[in-house]
Amino acid sequence: MDKQDLPILPTQEIGSFRKPGYLIDLWRRYMAGEGVEEELREAIRNASRETLRLMEGSGLDIVWDGEMHRWEMYYHPVTHIDGIEFVGRVRVFDNLYFVKGSVRDRPRLRENYHLEEYLFVKGNARKPVKIPVTGPYTLADWSYNEYYLSKWIKGEPNPVKARWRAKEELTIDIARNIINPILRDLAGHGVYRIQLDEPAATTHPDEMDIFVEAFNEAVRGVDAIVTTHICYSDYKVLLPYMAEIKARQFTLEFANRDTWSRGLGDDVRRGYSLLKEIREYSIESEIGLGVIDVHTDMVEPVELIVDRVRYALKYIDPERLFINPDCGLRTRSRDIGRRKLVNMVRAVRIVRDKYL
Amino acid sequence: MFRAYINGLFPRSEDLIDVWKGLDRGLVSRDKFRDRLIDECRRVIDIQRRGRLTYIHEPQIDWDDIFRPFTGLDGVEAGPLTRFFETNTFYRRPIFKSIVEYREDYIGRFLHRELLEDYGRAVTLPGPYTFIKLSESDDEELSRASIKNIYGGLCSDLKVYGYDLVILHEPALAYFYDVDWDLSFELYKPIMGSGIEYIVHPYFGDVSDKVDELRALSPWGFSIDLAYTNIDEFTPPSNTRIVLGIIDATTTLMEDIEHLAGRVIGFRDRVGIKDIDLTNNTHLEYLPFKIGVAKVELLSRLMGVLGSG
C-alpha cells in the first residue's frame, strides 16, 4: 500500500484508544500475577478486532487497533528488553503514575515485541495500517540511567557533561540495538508505514542532537515509510532540527493549543501558528495535522475541523497533509473517541469536495 | 558544622497509591484513606527520625504539586497541566485572577505538624520567584501583590506553628539564565522581615555565577545542585552557610558514601566554610518510594560518616 493508494488528505489515528473494560480488567489481573495469560490473549484479539472495526467504521483511511496488545507505550517495550528493570511507580501528575524502569545493564532486545501484534492487525484490518513504535529517545528519557551514568560520573568532573554523555550512550544503544532491529524486522515482514512515537523529543533542549542522531540511527536501512509523532512539546525547539530528522512525516498536536471559535483568521486559529514557521523553514516533510483535542469530552463540530484544515492548507500543500487527532484517544471513552473520529472524517470529506 | 535534612515532596508508597486510586474509584472510604495517609506520614517521619537527621521534614505526600495548596485561595485558580521544567512530571499552572488575600491558618490544613512534635521541624514551600515565573496572570502587578500577600501570611502561620526551617524551592533561579533580581528581592521582602529561618534552594542549574544575589536573598544560606554544579570549581565566600544538594533525587543510582564524604570534606577544607547543610537536590518524589527511602538512609549514613563537623 502506498500513499498513492490513499485519497488526498488521508485521515489516520495516532495509536492508542480506550481499551474495553473487560480487557483493562484482564490486563490488571495479568500484571498482578493472577495467571490469566490465555484469557488475556483471547481478550486482546477480540478487542483488537472490535477496535479495528470501530476505526474502519469511522471512515479512517489508515488504521491501527488502538494498541490493545500493549498495556502502555513504555511498559510494553521494557517488558521485552533485558537490562532495564522496573523499579516502581512515579507520579506524572495528581494521582496518575507510570511504572518507571532503571537501566542497570546494556539494553538487549529479547524479541521483536511488535511482530505478533502487527501480523494480527494486518491479517484483520480492511484498510491500510500504520504501526506505532515507541522511539529510542523517549525510552531513554523515561528511564533512570544507572548503567551509563555510573560509568561517566566517575571519570567526568563536570556533572552536566557526565549526564549528557551517559544519556547519549544509552539512547544510541537503544536506537541501534533495540529499535533498529525491530524496524528492520517489521519492514522485512511487509510493514509499509511505521510511526516512531517520541513525545519526549524536546523535553531537554540541550539534548536535541542526541534525539536527532538516535532517530536517524533507528531508521537506518529500514525499507518502510517512517513517520514520527511528537506531542505536547515545545515545537520551537524542534523546528531547527526538522530538516535533519529522517522522518517522512511529522505528526503533531495542534488542536490542544487552538480556540473553539469558527474562522480562518490567525487569532482564532492560533493553535496552528507553527505551520507558518514550518513553511518559513522550508520543511518538506508531510505534516500530520492534529485537529482533535484528546483531553476533552467535547466533540469538535465538523465545521470547526473544516476551518482548521482549511487554515492549514494556506501553508501546507494538500499532497503533504494528513489529518489526525492530536494524540492517541486512550483517555476518552470509546464512544467519545469514535464520535470525534467520525466528525474528523466528515470534515475532511467536506474539504476534499468543496475546497480542493 | 554539618546539618542534614530532606526537602521537597516525598513519593507515595505503592500501597498508598493503590488506596488513593481506590478512593478515586469509590472503592475505599474517606476514613480508611485518611487513616492510611496518616500512617504513611508517620512512616516518612520515622525514617527521618531513625536516620537522626537534624530536622524532620514534613512528608508533603498529600500535595498534588508544589503549588496546588495555594490554588485553593480566593483569587488564584489551578490552570492547565504544565511540564515542570525538564521533568516528566506536570503541575497545574496557578492563574491569578484577582488579588489574593492570605487567610490566617490556611496552610495548616496541608501540614501534619501534630506528627512532628518534639523535633526540629522543616517544611518546603515554592520560592516566590519560581511561583511568579511558573504562574500566569494578565496583570503582573496583580501577581506580585498576591504573592507578597501569600508569603506574608505563610511566614506568620509557620512561626505560630513552630517550624524551625523553611526551604524555598527556587529552580527558576538556577534553570533560567536571566533572572530578574529586582523582582526577586521585592518578592522576598515579606519573608526577610518575618524572622523565620529559610534556605533558598535553587536546582536544575548551576548558580556559581549568582552567588552574591543568592546571599542577598537569604542571610540563612542557599543551596547548590551538585547534579549541575562542579563542586571542585565552586568557591563561595566563607562567611555563608552552603546547602549541598548532594543526594540526587533524579536517579536511582545510589551514591557512594565514601566518595560523597570525600567531596564534602574536600570542599569544606578548600573554601573554608564552617556551616554546611546536606540534603537532596530536588523533590524525592521523582523516585519511587522505596528508592526515596533508600536515599534518605544514604543521607543519614553520610551524616554519620561526617559527624557533626
Residue B136 to chain A, least CA–CA distance (Å):
16
Provide the pLDDT confidence category of residue A4 given band limits of 50, 70 and 90. Answer: very low
B114 inside 8 A of chain A by CB? no
**DSSP SS3 for B200:** strand
Q: Within a 13 Å sphere around the CA of B216, how many CA atoms are in the beta-carbon half?
A: 10
Helical spans, DSSP H, in A222-293: 235-238, 274-280
Contact list in B for residue A145 (CB cut-off 8 A) is: 251, 253
Interface test with B, best of A89, A203, A258, A331 (most B CBs within 10 A): A89
Place of cell 520543511: A283
- The DSSP result for A304-329, as a single string, is HHHHHHHHHHTTS-GGGEEEE-SS-B
pLDDT at B309 over 70: no
State the pLDDT at residue B117: 81
pLDDT in tens, B220-229: 999 999 999 9
Contact list in B for residue A150 (CB cut-off 8 A) is: 253
Interface test with A, best of B13, B88, B91, B231 (most A CBs within 10 A): B88
Residue B286 to chain A, least CA–CA distance (Å):
6
Q: Which residue in B has a C-alpha nearest to residue A100's C-alpha?
A: B288
3-state SS, one letter per residue, for A58-118: CCCCEECCCCCCCCCCCHHHHCCEEEEEEEEEEEEECCEEEEEEEEEEEEEECCCCCHHHH
Give the A:B interface size as CB pairs under 8 Å.
Answer: 74
Helical spans, DSSP H, in A241-333: 274-280, 302-313
Cβ contact (<8 Å) for A91 and B289? no
Contact list in A for residue B226 (CB cut-off 8 A) is: 159
State the pLDDT at residue B237: 86
Cβ contact (<8 Å) for A163 and B227? yes
Beta strand B276-280 pairing with B242-247: parallel
CA–CA separation, A27 vs A92, rounded Å? 21
Average pLDDT over residues A152-173: 93
| Residues sharing a CB contact under 8 Å with residue B273, sequence separation 6 or more, in sequence order | B236, B238, B240, B241, B242, B267
CB A107 within 8 A of CB A82: yes
State the pLDDT at residue A221: 98
Beta-carbon neighbour count of residue A206 at 10 Å? 11
pLDDT in tens, B115-145: 988 789 999 999 999 999 999 999 999 999 9
pLDDT in tens, B83-113: 999 999 999 999 999 999 999 999 999 999 9
Cβ contact (<8 Å) for A88 and B21? no
Average pLDDT over residues B182-189: 98
Cβ contact (<8 Å) for A153 and B253? yes
Out of A87, A145, A163, name the one closest to residue B288 (CB): A87
**DSSP SS3 for B95:** strand
- Among B138, B165, B154, B139, which residue's Cα sits nearest to residue B73? B154
Over pLDDT 70: what percentage of chain B? 99
pLDDT in tens, A192-208: 999 999 999 999 999 99
* Amino acid letter for position B74: D
Cβ contact (<8 Å) for A87 and B17? no
| Assembly ipTM | 0.94
Average pLDDT over residues A86-109: 96
Phi, psi of A194 (to 5 degrees): -120, 135
3-state SS, one letter per residue, for B239-256: CCCEEEEEECCCCCCCCC
Over pLDDT 90: what percentage of chain A? 95
Out of B11, B17, B90, name the one closest to residue A93 (CB): B90
pLDDT at A349 over 80: yes
CA–CA separation, A282 vs A285, rounded Å? 9
Contact list in B for residue A94 (CB cut-off 8 A) is: 64-65
State the pLDDT at residue B308: 62
Cβ contact (<8 Å) for A203 and B83? yes
pLDDT in tens, A284-341: 999 999 999 999 999 999 999 999 999 999 999 999 999 999 999 999 999 999 999 9
Classify residue B283 as left (phi > 0), alpha (psi -120 to 50) or beta. beta
State the pLDDT at residue A147: 97
Residue B89 to chain A, least CA–CA distance (Å):
5
Provide the pLDDT confidence category of residue B243 given band limits of 50, 70 and 90. Answer: very high
Contact list in A for residue B93 (CB cut-off 8 A) is: none
B253 inside 8 A of chain A by CB? yes
pTM confidence score: 0.93
B64 inside 8 A of chain A by CB? yes
CA–CA separation, B23 vs B34, rounded Å? 10
Q: Which residue in B has a C-alpha nearest to residue A97's C-alpha?
A: B17
B39 inside 8 A of chain A by CB? no
pLDDT at A269 over 50: yes
Give all strands (DSSP E) within A141-181, no chain letters: 144-145
B226 inside 8 A of chain A by CB? yes
**DSSP SS3 for A298:** coil
Whole-number average pLDDT of chain B = 95
Contact list in A for residue B91 (CB cut-off 8 A) is: 93
Helix or strand holding residue B16 (H, E): helix B14-24
Q: Which residue in B has a C-alpha nearest to residue A150's C-alpha?
A: B253
Whole-number average pLDDT of chain A = 96
Between B38 and B80, whose confidence is greater?
B38
Cβ contact (<8 Å) for B288 and A100? yes
CA–CA separation, A258 vs A261, rounded Å? 9
